[in-house]
Structure formats: C-alpha cells, structure tokens
Chain A
Amino acid sequence: MQLDSLYQEIILDHYKHPHGRGLRDAADPAARVGEAHHVNPTCGDEITVRVATDGSVFTDISYDGMGCSISQASASILHELLRGRAASDAAVVHEAFVELMSGRGQVTPDEDVLGDGVAFAGVARFPARVKCALLSWMAFKDAAARAGVGVSPEVKA
C-alpha cells in the first residue's frame, strides 16, 4: 500500500499546524454548549470536542486531544469544515465524511462538500486507521446532540 495515499500533504499540514485547536468558552453566554470526550481504546488516543450553537448554527467548534496524525488532522479539518455552518449543512458534510471513511476506498469524495476532507479518501483504504479518522467526528456528533442539535441520521462505525 502506498504511504503517500495515507499521509497526504494536506493531512500532514493540518497535523503540524492544527486549526482552531484548544477548548474555548462560547462567545455568546446564551449559546447552548455541548461537549463530548471520546477515546480509542486500542491505541489510547483521546479527543474532547465542544460545540456552541444558537440552535441552528454551530457558532464555534473547539477541541483538544492527543493522538496520531490522522486523528488530530481530522479534528482540525472538522473544525474548518463545520464551524459557522448551519446544523442542516453540517449534517450533510458529516454524513459524507462518514460515508467516505466507511467506503473501504471505493467512495469518490465530493470536494465541494468535504473540502480538505477529501484528503482522507486514502485513509479509508487502511482499515486500522479509519477509527482514528472518525474519532473527532463521532465526538462532534455526541457533543452536538448534547447541545440539542442532531447532525447525522444514522452513523455506522
């Protein structure tokens, strides 16, 4: 298997220079906030994702964690893609990312929907790493639900 398809330049860039890292309090004290902490028991990777929402838009998505390049870059890209998005849009992106990661490399990603997330197409061909890529996305889904906003119809992971 080609290592380049796993460690795309975009992924390494997000890993080395993560966007929006660090847990933040909501700017608006009236915002609904939800937080979720997920771990990958096989490797000990951890992530905490916090969302702030006014009920329809994710006004902020902040996170902190430790883990491999794939799990940490994925959190950075999640922040980039979903912060400031309406819950309904976020649900579409979330579903597309989960579909891409569950596709064993057979799914062609739509760059208009997934942005830098398309770089994870190669990760889907490494079954041992799919969980790493999905860690922050699953935590995000839980955090959003705790803030009272559903983002994904059905997630199989």
Chain B
Amino acid sequence: MTSMAIPAGMPQYDDVPRFDVAKVRADFPILDREVNGHPLVYLDSANTSHKPRQVLDVLAEHYAMHNANVSRSVHTLGTEATEAYEGARAKIAAFINAPSVDEVVFTKNSTEAINLVAYAFSNASLRPDGDPRFRLGPGDEIVISEMEHHSNIVPWQLLAERTGATLRWFPVTDQGRLDESGLDDLVTERTKIVSLVHMSNILGTVNATSRITARVREVGALLLLDCSQSVPHLPMDVVDYDADFIVFTGHKMCGPTGIGVLWGRGELLAAMPPVMGGGSMIETVTMAGSTFAAPPARFEAGTPPIAEAVALGAAVDYLTAIGMPAIQWHEKELTAYALDALATVPGLRIFGPTVPVGRGGTISFALGDVHPHDVGQVLDSLGVQVRVGHHCARPVCTRFGVPATTRASFYLYNTTAEIDALVAGLEQVRKVFE
C-alpha cells in the first residue's frame, strides 16, 4: 500500500475538527435500545433527531423546578421561567449569528414559521397601509423550487390563491441540483419573495445561495431560506448568508418537538402586520381596537411552548459544545462512506448528488423495483430505521419518475458501522424480493 502525504501548507488530516462519537452516543439513551431483537440503527434524523440526556434533563428540570407562565408574572417562578425562555432566545440568536435577539421568533415548527411569513404577506395586502414589500396582487410573483418540502410549497400556493399572485419555481437537474440557468428570467422585478430550501430533505442537496441572493437584491425582492435540514447539520450565519428570513425546527436538532424558529431581519419583522391575535402580542387593547407589541412578541400570541424553547436552548448548547464544524465534517465523512458503500449494492439508484460535495448526509435511493415500503419493512426487521415514501416532497418524486423513495439520513451520533448494517440489510431485501 502506498501512502500519500498531504502537501505542506494544505490543511492536514489532523487539522479537521473532530469529536468522540462513542462519547456522544452515550449521551443519547434511546441508542441503547433494541428494535426487533437487533441493536437500533437509526438512520432517520432528517425526519426527527434523537435527544441527548442534557436536553431531556433540562426539559424535566424546567417543569419540576421553574414552571410558570412567561412575560406576565411578578413572582419568582414567573421571573425564572421568563429568564429561561428569553435566555433560550439569546442562545439561538447567537447560534445563527443573528444581529439582534429580537429577530428570533419562536414558532411551533418550520411549517408554522413559513405560514407566518405567508400570512404576513396576505394581511399586508389587505391593509391600505401595508408595507409595499409585503403587498401582493395579480402580476406579482412568488418563486420557490421543485425540490421544496410541501411546507415550502403549499403555504405559497395558498397565498397565491388569496392574493392573485403567481407562483413560479426553479427546476431541478438530473443530478439533483437546483437549475439556476433561468435565474434572470425567473427572478425579476415582478418577484416579491423567493422562498428556497437550503438543504433538500429528500435529495440531500445543499443549495449554493449567493447567485440567487445577488439576483434577489438586484430586483428588490425578499429571500427566505428553509433551513430545516441545514441548521441542525452545519454552521449557520444569517449575516453571511444575507437572507431576509430563515426558518428551522427544534426537533431535528436534538431539541423537543413543538418548537421552531423564524429568524427575520429586524426592520422586516417590524414592518410585518400581526398574524395570530391574542395575549402577549399586544401593546394596548380597547374594545374599539388594539395596537401591537414590537417583534418578536408581536408574532408570539398566547402562552408559548416555554419548556420546549428552554430545552431547545439546551440543544443549541449541546451542539455548540461539540462544534458545528466538527458535526458537519463527521457527516461529510459518513456521507462519503455511504455513497461508496451504496454504490456496491446491485440495482441501487441514488436520487440526488452522488458525490459528497454540495450535499448533506441525507441519501434517497431506489433498490431495483422493490417498493420502498417493502425495503423499509425488511430493514426494520433488522433494527434499521429509515424513512420510506415521498418525504413530503412529492414534486421531487415526480421529477425523478418514482412514486416514493427509501431515505437514509445521518447525524452526529451515526457511525460507519451503522451504514454497514444498512448495506447488509439491503442484501436481505434483495433476497426476499428478487
């Protein structure tokens, strides 16, 4: 065997940020369990991630010791709960390098965050004093892409129906990349918002956004990035990405369900009318009318998911302590390993980029003619948990001519041994069906 030295002056192998995967795995109680008599092999983190003990403890501790409503109590528990809730907001702002804590709006999930922006548009369109950046009508255009999750398609379809605006989309190439060749014709002076997935939940593609951002700025539109699949897996800096809004969800990044985030530029959030009305979002209320609080409170009507937000803060602490660059590198290595390993399975076809560049650790594939449901069922009998179906991204399946796919997705706690278990399981699938 010959060995090659990395030339001096280049980053050396040991320079790459790393962490102890075995130690991380020990933090996740669920990874100790068995499924159908086999050790759990969880390859479905794009669906939802597992939660480390550090997050579960904070969730339990909050309810056990600091439970009270936020932003309305003068008593000690109320103060503790409010500090914990707002403290979590500050942690999340730092995690994505938001210029201001007030730019972080807590939502239920990414879906709610996207709907919030879409409804702000339609509410502004109904008000004569609505900010022109948010006013939509016939002749205006909304641009998405063919690789969106349903949550970044349907809210815009509904908004287009309500306002008479037109919905357009970027196509996807055969390699599973965003087709930017028609960018200048697609994003024009008629475009009011471009809402684009940062990392595809089905193809794994990580979209390069700089050309699109430049074009969005040129035509004076707004840019929303759906970061549901990227914020959990790579370092995010909203200033560097120069987006107007990003959305992500807590349960895919070691946090609980029921908590998500809308980040928006401060001046844009300030220009948006309220969407949900209720307690906490007002300035003053009379029977004749109300005035509204400044963001983020304006968009957080009612009692929020307090413990969930606090636990998401703990998740961010956990990820930060390990280091997002190290997590990104770990997943890059897993992805490279998996792409090579899957290429050895006869009859396997990958949908999406087949090189570990410009993609994350989410790999969709077909195994011959075997239906994904059957693939998933055989894998489950071996303890291997993958997702099967259209992954709430049916236009992608249509684009590649399949009703459904099988998807394996990785996170910080996955190992190459688990990818070996997947490949061995796929051999078992072939035995049953071929």
Contacts and interface: CB of A to CB of B under 8 A. Distances in A.
A42 B433 CA distance: 22
Interface in A1-29: 1-3, 6-7, 12
Nearest to B394: A44
Contacts of B403: 43-46, 66-67
B381 A132 contact: no
A129 B373 CA distance: 9
Interface residues of B, number: 17
Q: Is the interface of B mostly helix, strand, loop or mixed?
A: helix
B94 interface: no
Contacts, number: 50
B36 A1 contact: yes
A66 B370 CA distance: 11
B16 interface: no
B404 A6 contact: no
A43 B377 contact: no
A66 B388 CA distance: 15
B373 A68 contact: yes
A155 B381 CA distance: 30
B44 to A, nearest CB: 14
Contact of B397 (A6, A44, A45, A46): A44
A126 B377 contact: yes
A137 to B, nearest CB: 17
A1 B381 contact: yes
A43 B371 CA distance: 10
Interface string B373-389: 11001100100000011
Contacts of A68: 371-374
B149 interface: no
Contacts of B404: 43-45
Contacts of B373: 43, 45, 67-70, 129, 132
27 contacts: A2-B381, A3-B377, A3-B378, A7-B377, A12-B432, A42-B389, A43-B373, A43-B389, A43-B390, A43-B403, A43-B404, A44-B390, A44-B403, A45-B373, A45-B403, A45-B404, A66-B403, A67-B371, A67-B403, A68-B371, A68-B373, A68-B374, A69-B371, A69-B374, A69-B433, A70-B373, A70-B374
Interface of B: 36, 371-374, 377-378, 381, 388-390, 394, 397, 403-404, 432-433
The 6 closest A-B pairs by CB, nearest first: A68-B373, A68-B371, A3-B381, A44-B403, A43-B389, A44-B390
